[in-house]
Amino acid sequence: NSTIQLLTEFDTTMTICLNRLSVVSSSFRDLLRGVVELQRACLYTIALMDYVDVYLPRMDEGSEIKYPRADPRMGAFVWNDKDAFFLFKAGLPVYYVRPYNDFDTQNILSYIQLT
């Protein structure tokens, strides 16, 4: 499972960073780099767990529930119809990027105001 592999990778990164910060004597600049790397691994872990627990179930193709927008989320730029649909279905902000010449065949039924 790719989720388990990612969590294992993040755990390994955090373990290495913690060992390096506690055992190896380093300059202040190198310590800062270690702390930043540790923070990055922690934030990636939280984001992945958030995705798996909250947003992945919302993207289930069998679900017809309409979820509210996820206000504190940044969103994503996508170029693929399927990705745009799944992110929209999960209530995440999505920006569907397409070439200008694709718009002559589209029928836009509704829109929402950006806030």
The H-assigned helical ranges of 24-89 are: 28-50, 56-58, 81-89
Measured distance CA(45)–CA(40) in Å, rounded: 9
Task: Give the Cα separation of 80 and 55 in Å (integer).
Answer: 18
Which pLDDT does position 67 carry in this prediction? 72
Shared domain for 1 and 13, answered yes or no, is: yes
**Same-domain status, 27 and 54:** yes
Which tens digits make up the pLDDT trace of 52-111?
Answer: 888 888 887 676 777 777 667 788 999 988 999 888 888 888 898 887 777 777 777 888
User: Is 115 domain-assigned?
Assistant: no
Same domain, 47 and 84: no
pLDDT band at 33 (very low <50, low <70, confident <90, very high): very high
Query: Are 50 and 90 part of one and the same domain?
Result: no
pLDDT attached to residue 71: 67
Q: Residues 15, 52: one domain? A: yes
- Asked whether residue 112 is assigned to any structural domain, the reply reads no
Query: Is there a single domain that holds both residue 51 and residue 2?
Result: yes
Of 89, 80, 41, 39, the closest CA to residue 61 belongs to 89
Q: Are 45 and 8 part of one and the same domain?
A: yes
- 34, 19: one domain: yes
Residues 16-30: tens digit of each pLDDT: 999 999 998 999 999
